[in-house]
Amino acid sequence: MIYFEITPDDEFIKTDKVPGPTKEEIRALVISKTHLTDEDVVVDVGCGTGGLTVEFAKRVKSVYSIDMNPDAIATTRKNLEKFGLTHKVELIEEEGYKALDDIEDFTKLVIGGSGGNLENIIREGYIKLPVGGRIIITSIVLETATESVRVLKELGSEPEVVNFNVSKGTVLDRGVMMKALNPITIISAKKI
């Protein structure tokens, strides 16, 4: 059993032009819902800064990371170089739905950004997943969560919905002050 730590937020190379990395505590939760094995091939739609891509690349066979923003692809590449993981990841600068057209062999699909194309990405991805594969959607917008649940139910799957509210403490002289991170909803489902 190999233990991989979660990479701390402040170790990532960041730019103002790209969101992320997903906070380390949330990355840990996404990993748990993804049920990763070292045989997995993961598709990360909306890789942003590469926060989740780096966590997947450490743990699985290979990763396809998709983002339509060239700055996101460049930033994810820099982080993969920094952590020595470039050999595990194929970076694809394209809209998620279109990029999925050309990928056949994945076992887990993680959607962290979808623009207006969430339903298309879920439907296309779900059809291509093998039975037992998993789809995970991280959402900071309520509508993303409800749309995901609706589409997954229409596809005959049984989505699980968990809302995470994480607060982090700042240790001050007079005590520990808790600060809330943005709540995040994780929708996950197994391909039946």
Least gap, CB of 93 to ligand SAH (angstroms): 9
Q: Give the H/E segment covering residue 135.
A: strand 134-139
Instruction: Determine the 3-state secondary structure of 43 from DSSP.
Output: strand
**C-beta closer to ligand SAH: residue 50 or 159:** 50
The pair of structure tokens assigned to 143 is 């509508």
**C-beta closer to ligand SAH: residue 13 or 177:** 13
Q: Which residue is nearest to ligand SAH (CB)?
A: 113
Strands 41-45 and 62-67: parallel
**Alpha-helical runs (H) found in the chain:** 24-34, 51-59, 70-82, 96-100, 118-128, 142-154
**C-beta closer to ligand SAH: residue 46 or 125:** 46
Least gap, CB of 3 to ligand SAH (angstroms): 21
**C-beta closer to ligand SAH: residue 45 or 89:** 45
Least gap, CB of 12 to ligand SAH (angstroms): 8
Least gap, CB of 51 to ligand SAH (angstroms): 2
**Residues contributing to the site for ligand SAH (CB under 6 A):** 18-22, 45-52, 66-69, 72, 95-96, 112-115, 117
Amino acid at 42: V
Least gap, CB of 104 to ligand SAH (angstroms): 18
**C-beta closer to ligand SAH: residue 8 or 175:** 8
The pair of structure tokens assigned to 114 is 């979808």
Question: Rounded to an integer, what distance in angstroms lies between the CA atom of residue 44 and that of residue 165?
Answer: 23
CA nearest neighbour of 14 among 68, 92, 72, 58: 72
